[in-house]
Amino acid sequence: MSSNLILPNATQWLGRAKSLLCVGVLQISLTACTFFESELPQPLPKPTATYDSVVPLPVSFEQGREYFSLTPNSLIKSNDNSLQPEITYLNAMVKQTLGFELATSDSFWKTSPSSVELILKPSTQQDSEAYDMVVTEKNIQISASTRAGIFRGIQSLKQLLPTPTESKGNPNGLVWTIYTGEISDQPRYAYRGFMLDVSRHFYSVDEVKTIIDYLAEYKYNVFHFHLTDDQGWRIEIPGWPKLTSVGSRSAVGMEDCDNCYYTLEQYADIVAYADARHITLIPEIDTPGHVRAAQASYPELLYCDGDKPEWPYTGIKVKISSLCFKNPDIYDFFNDVVAAIAPLTTGPYIHVGGDETPKWVDKKDYREFMLRAQFIIASHGKKMMGWTNDLGNVKGLPENVLGQHWSIKKTCCETTLNMVAQGNQIVMSPANKTYLDLKYNKDTKLGLKWAGFNDVENSYNWNPATMVEGVNEDHILGIEAPLWGETVNSLEDAEYLIFPRLLTLAEVAWSPQEQRQFDSFQNRLDKQVQRLKQRGVNVHLQD
Ligand code: TNX
C-alpha cells in the first residue's frame, strides 16, 4: 500500500548545496552569489497533500518519493476530443486552486516539460467509473474507459493539490508539487446518492450548485432532488400556475417564502450542472402523501373535504395529507407534472416518495394509485423509484422499479423483502446510519433524533450488505444519504449537517468493505476537514 517515506529529492539537495556554497563565498563576492541564486534551480516546494489522505479510500495506491511539478508551462493533453468538457473542468479547477490556467494541446504527442494527460481507453471489463492515475516526475496520467471515470480520477488529483487558500501563500512562485505515485480505483456501488429536501427549506440555484460541487468532490453520482412536500411545492408546472403562486409560499418556520421555487429553465440548468459532473439528477414528486402544498393550491381538484387545508403550513408533522383518490383529476395532475419534468430530466428515474400516508388511506386505493403512477412515468420514458415502505405493499410493479429502504431495524422489512422477491433493486438509506439530518449527539443544536444520534463513527461503521436479513450485496444498487430540511435555515446549517458525514458515507459507498477501518479513516478525515475549514466550509468538528 502507501509508502510515506519523504526524502528531499535531487533538486532539493541541489538547492541546499547552493545555499551552503553561497554562505561560503559570501565574503569573497556577493555579486557571484546573486548570479548563482538566479541561475540555479530553486528548491521545489514540498507537496501539501499525501496519497493516504484521499477520501473515499482508493482501492489501491502507492506513493513515491519524487515530485511532479505543476507550473504555468505545464500542458493539458488528451487522446480523445470527447474529453473536452473534462479538460475545461480540470482547467477551471487548476485556476481556482492555483490561480493560473494551463495551456491545452490538441496533439497528444506534443512535448512539454510537464503535462497532465487524460486518456480514454475503451475496455469492456472495467467498471464504468474505474480510473487509474500514474504520477511521474514528468507527467500525470489519468486513464479510464469512460468520461465519468476520468472525472472521478480528476477528483483524486484535486485532493492532491493544495486548497485555494494554501496556494495564495505559495512562497515558491507558480510551482506546485505532487508526490509521484499510482492510484488504481473503482467504486463498490453503482449508485452513490445524496438527497436534498428543498421543500422544508428552500435553497437558491447557486446553493444547490454548491452542494452538487461537494458531491462531485467525494465521487457521489446521484443527486436526489426532493422537490415537493407538505411545506412547499418547488417546481414550475405549465397549466398549474397556483402550484408556485400559492404552493411555493411556505416552508418550515416561514409563512411567506418569496420566489421559493425553480422555473423549468432553472431546473434544466441544475440538471445540466449535475450532468457535467457525471451526477444523475433524480427529481422527486412526493405522492400520494406529503401533498399539502399541492392541495392548498388546488383544493377543489386534489382535496376531498370540500374545505381548504390549513395553509401556509410551517410545521414539521408527517402523515398529514394524501391526494383524494375518488377524484380522477389527481391522475391528470400527476401526468401533467411528469410530462413537464421528464423531458428535462436526463437520468432514467422519477422518484415518487410514496411513504407516510395518513392512517385513513386505504391500501387498495394506494395500490391502484401507484400502479397508475408507474404507468404514467413509464409512458414518459422513465422508471419509478420510491420508498420500499410503502411501495413494497404494491404487488404487480415491474422489475425496473427501484426501491429505497429507510427502516432502522434488522428484521423488519417486509416491504423491502417483497420488492427484493419481485426482482427490484434496492438503494439502502437506513435512517440511523445515513440520515444527515440526525443530530451527531445530544449537544448538537441542529437536527432531529427520532432514529437516534448519528455521529461520524456510527455513520461509518456499517455494511449495507448486512443491514437487513435477506437483503444482500446482489440486491443492492447502492446507498443514499438524505438531508431532510426540518431544522435547516441556511446553507451554513446544511454544511454543518453534511460535513463530515458526507465523507463518511462516500467511503461506505465507494471503498471495499474489507479495507475500511475507522481509525485510518479518521486520519484521512482530519486532513480533509482541515482543507474544508481552510476553504470556509462550516464543518461540524468532532468531539
Ligand atoms: C422521515 S423516512 C421522512 C421525512 C422526514 C424525515 C426526518 C422518510 C421517507 N420520510 O418525511 O423529513 O424522516 O428525518
Q: What pLDDT is stored for residue 106 in this prediction?
A: 78
- Take atom 9 of ligand 1 and give the residue whose Cα is closest: 355
**H helical segments located in 99-241:** 147-160, 164-168, 205-217
Q: What pLDDT is stored for residue 39 in this prediction?
A: 52
Q: Which atom of ligand 1 is nearest to the CA of 431?
A: 2
Residue 202 buriedness (CB in 10 A; 0-12 / 13-18 / 19+): buried
Q: Which atom of ligand 1 is nearest to the CA of 316?
A: 12
The pick from 409, 437, 484, 487 for probing ligand 1's pocket by mutation, whose C-beta has the most ligand atoms within 8 angstroms, reads 484
Closest of 419, 486, 533, 521 to residue 58, by C-alpha: 521
> How many whole angstroms separate alpha carbon 503 and alpha carbon 73?
34
Q: Which atom of ligand 1 is nearest to the CA of 448?
A: 14
The type of residue at 436 is L
Distance (Å) from CA 222 to ligand 1 centroid: 19
At 86 the three-state DSSP class reads helix
Q: What pLDDT is stored for residue 166 in this prediction?
A: 77
- Take atom 13 of ligand 1 and give the residue whose Cα is closest: 484
Q: What secondary structure does DSSP assign to 177-200, as a single string? A: EEEEEEEEE--S-SEEEEEEETTT
Active site annotation includes 356: yes
What pLDDT, in 10s, does the model give residues 196-250?
Answer: 999 999 999 999 999 999 999 999 999 999 999 999 999 999 999 999 999 999 9
- Our CA angle for 8, 17, 179, nearest 5°, is 20
Q: Which atom of ligand 1 is nearest to the CA of 485?
A: 12
Q: Which atom of ligand 1 is nearest to the CA of 353?
A: 9
> How many whole angstroms separate alpha carbon 83 and alpha carbon 91?
12
Q: What pLDDT is stored for residue 9 in this prediction?
A: 43
The pick from 286, 355, 450 for probing ligand 1's pocket by mutation, whose C-beta has the most ligand atoms within 8 angstroms, reads 355
Distance (Å) from CA 524 to ligand 1 centroid: 31
Distance (Å) from CA 22 to ligand 1 centroid: 68
CA atoms within 13 A on the CB side of 93: 22
> How many whole angstroms separate alpha carbon 160 and alpha carbon 180?
11
Catalytic residue (one of 129, 166, 284, 356) = 356
Please state, in angstroms and as integers, the Cα–Cα distance from residue 400 to each residue in 361, 468, 477, 529, following that order.
26, 21, 12, 39
Ligand 1 pocket at CB < 6 A: 318, 355-356, 387, 406, 431, 435, 437, 448, 484, 486
Kindly give the confidence (pLDDT) of every residue in the chain, 543 residues in length, as a single tens digit, with 9 standing for 90 and above.
333 333 334 344 333 333 333 333 334 444 444 444 445 667 888 998 999 999 999 999 999 999 999 998 999 999 999 999 999 999 999 998 888 899 998 788 888 889 999 999 988 667 999 999 999 999 999 999 999 999 999 999 999 998 888 777 665 667 889 999 999 999 999 999 999 999 999 999 999 999 999 999 999 999 999 999 999 999 999 999 999 999 999 999 999 999 999 999 999 999 999 999 999 999 999 999 999 999 999 999 999 988 889 999 999 999 999 999 999 999 999 999 999 999 999 999 999 999 999 999 999 999 999 999 999 999 999 999 999 999 999 999 999 999 999 999 866 799 999 999 999 999 999 999 999 999 999 999 999 999 999 999 999 999 999 999 999 999 999 999 999 999 999 999 999 999 999 999 999 999 999 999 999 999 999 999 999 999 999 999 975
> How many whole angstroms separate alpha carbon 401 and alpha carbon 350?
10
Distance (Å) from CA 436 to ligand 1 centroid: 11
Do residues 373 and 350 touch, judged by C-beta distance below 8 A? no
Say what the pTM is: 0.93
223 phi and psi angles, rounded to 5 deg: -115, 105
Distance (Å) from CA 396 to ligand 1 centroid: 26
Q: What pLDDT is stored for residue 299 in this prediction?
A: 96
- Take atom 7 of ligand 1 and give the residue whose Cα is closest: 484
Please state, in angstroms and as integers, the Cα–Cα distance from residue 397 to each residue in 288, 322, 347, following that order.
16, 21, 20
CB atoms near residue 64 (< 10 Å): 17
For the range 445-453, what are the long-range contacts, defined as Cβ-Cβ under 8 Å and sequence gap of 24 or more? 446/487, 446/488, 446/493, 446/496, 446/497, 447/487, 447/497, 448/484, 448/486, 448/487, 451/408, 452/408
Q: What pLDDT is stored for residue 1 in this prediction?
A: 38
Scanning the structure block, which residue is given the C-alpha cell 496519497? 51
Beta sheet of 60-70, edge-to-edge order: 60-70, 176-185, 131-135, 139-144, 115-120, 75-78, 103-105
